[in-house]
Amino acid sequence: MPELPEVEVTRRALAEELTGDRLQGVVIRTLKLRLPIPSDLPVLLQGRTLQEVGRRGKYLLFRLDNGWLIIHLGMTGHLRVLPASMAAGKHDHLDLLFGGGRILRFTDPRKFGTVLWSGGEPHAHPLLADMGPEPLEEGFDGEYLHALSRSRSVAVKQLIMNSSVVAGVGNIYANESLFRSRLRPSRSPHSLSREECGALAVAIREVLAESILQGSTIMNFRVAEEPLRYHPLDFRVYGRGGKPCFDCGGMLEEIRLGNRSTVFCPHCQK
Ligand SMILES: [Zn+2]
């Protein structure tokens, strides 16, 4: 599943490639995604100029001069800039035609992605309205986490994966940031001290920022013809259950929390 860093790297690449370009046409091959693609999208987008590519959590926000195109990549979606002559495959559901014979193509084998239109401010859209602060922006820090965690009874890992608490922290980065901050994923949020909340907020920001930097370096900010797929090469815990901890050499433990795979070091994480 594309996580926040991958979406952010995609955003940067698309912003560089397409900002200021005029949309010359839209081809929809299926309306049936997680939510139906609006059938009037071609009318709404035709002739409009892409002003900006933004992001909120894992949603990409394409600002046109008459509204916003909102895209979520779901489990398996990706966006590529391709020559318009490139034949469409079975899972290519949407093409946006830009100048210079280029298309922005949305591909999604499992169709859990979302393509929506918002005539007004997208942050008020029902999908985005309840989202918590962006982890890399002001408003997300240890004080915020500490204040909010006093009344929560779920495990801390579930807390930070709740998008109304903080936007866009998925399973991979929840595992990694808890390891980095030395906190056990099953800890009760109200047992966390101010210092521990501070360390966790810093760890979340660091793992996301490092991953964005790494992905940006790999992609060199260009949208390749191959789908953007990268993950940091050095996960410390994610996907490493039963393997030795890089820090203490003990065996990493894997459990299920909120029905998601959770890996931690019982020695290093308290
Ligand atoms: Zn360890």
52 with 103, same domain? yes
Nearest one of 157, 244, 249 to 203, comparing CA atoms: 157
Task: Note the pLDDT of residue 34.
Answer: 86
Sign of CA dihedral 78, 79, 83, 88: positive
Domain-embedded: residue 216: yes
Q: Separation of 176 CA from ligand 1 center, angstroms?
A: 13
Same domain, 93 and 162: no
Q: Is residue 57 part of a domain?
A: yes
Please indicate, yes or no, whether residues 120 and 152 belong to a single structural domain of this protein. no
Of the listed 11, 58, 80, 236, which one is catalytic? 58
How remote is the CA of residue 247 from the centroid of ligand 1, in Å?
Answer: 5
In a domain, 153, yes or no: yes
Residue 189, in any domain of the structure: yes
pLDDT at residue 68, rounded to an integer: 97
Q: Whole-angstrom Cα distance, residue 262 to residue 240?
A: 10
Domain shared by 109 and 209, yes or no: no
In the residue annotation, 3 being an active-site residue is answered as: yes
Q: How much distance in Å is there from the Cα of 58 to the middle of ligand 1?
A: 31
How many angstroms does the Cα of residue 127 sit away from the middle of ligand 1?
38
Q: Which domain holds residue 61?
A: 4-124
d(CA 246, ligand 1 centre) in Å = 7
Indicate if 157 belongs to the active site.
Answer: no
58 assigned to active site: yes
Q: Pick the catalytic residue: 34, 111, 152, 260?
A: 260
Dihedral sign (CA 153, 154, 160, 166): negative
Q: How far apart are CA 174 and CA 32, in angstroms?
A: 31
CA 156 to ligand 1 centroid distance, Å: 19
Determine phi and psi for 90, rounding to 5 degrees: -60, -35
- B/e letters for 20-53, b = 16+ CB within 10 Å, e = fewer, are eeebbebeeeeeebbeebeeebeebbeebebeeb
> Is 79 among the domain residues?
yes
Q: Do 158 and 255 lie in a common domain?
A: yes
* DSSP letter string, 196-262: HHHHHHHHHHHHHHHHHHHHHHHHTT---SS------TT-SSTT-TTSBPTTT-PBPEEEEETTEEE
Q: Is the residue at 137 inside a domain?
A: no
Is 90 in the same domain as 119?
yes
Looking at the structure, do residues 8 and 117 belong to the same domain, yes or no?
A: yes
94, 78 contact by CB (below 8 A): no
Secondary structure, 3-state, 61-84: EEEECCEEEEEECCCCCEEEEEEC
Q: Kindly give the distance from the C-alpha atom of residue 136 to the centroid of ligand 1, in angstroms, as a whole number.
A: 27
Domain CATH number, residue 228: 1.10.8.50
Rg (CA), the chain: 20
Q: Give Cα 79 to chain centroid, integer Å.
A: 13
The last residue of one of the domains, among 124, 156, 172, is 124
Residues 230 and 175 in one domain: yes
> Which token pair is 177?
């940031």
Same domain for 117 and 160: no
Structure confidence at residue 142 (pLDDT):
97
What residues have a C-beta under 5 A from ligand 1, the ion? 245, 247-248, 265, 267-268
126 a catalytic residue: no
CA-to-CA distance for 99 and 152, rounded, in angstroms? 51
The CATH number of whichever domain residue 103 belongs to comes to 3.20.190.10
| Within a domain: 130 | no
Q: How far is the CA of 267 from the centre of ligand 1 (A)?
A: 5
What is residue 201's predicted lDDT score, i.e. its pLDDT?
98
Tokens for 140, please give them. 């997300």
Backbone angles phi, psi at 186, to 5 degrees: -85, 0
Q: For residue 120, give the nearest of 67, 191, 198, 51 by alpha carbon.
A: 67
**98 and 187 co-located in one domain:** no
> How many domains, in total, are found in the chain?
2
Same structural domain for residues 64 and 148?
A: no
Residue 67 inside a domain? The answer is: yes
Tens-level pLDDT at each residue, the chain (270 residues): 788 998 998 999 899 999 999 999 999 998 888 888 999 999 999 999 999 999 999 999 999 999 999 999 998 898 989 999 999 999 999 999 999 999 999 999 999 999 999 999 999 999 999 999 999 999 999 999 999 999 899 999 999 999 999 999 999 999 999 999 999 999 999 999 999 999 999 999 999 999 888 876 665 444 555 555 555 557 899 999 999 999 999 999 999 999 999 999 999 999
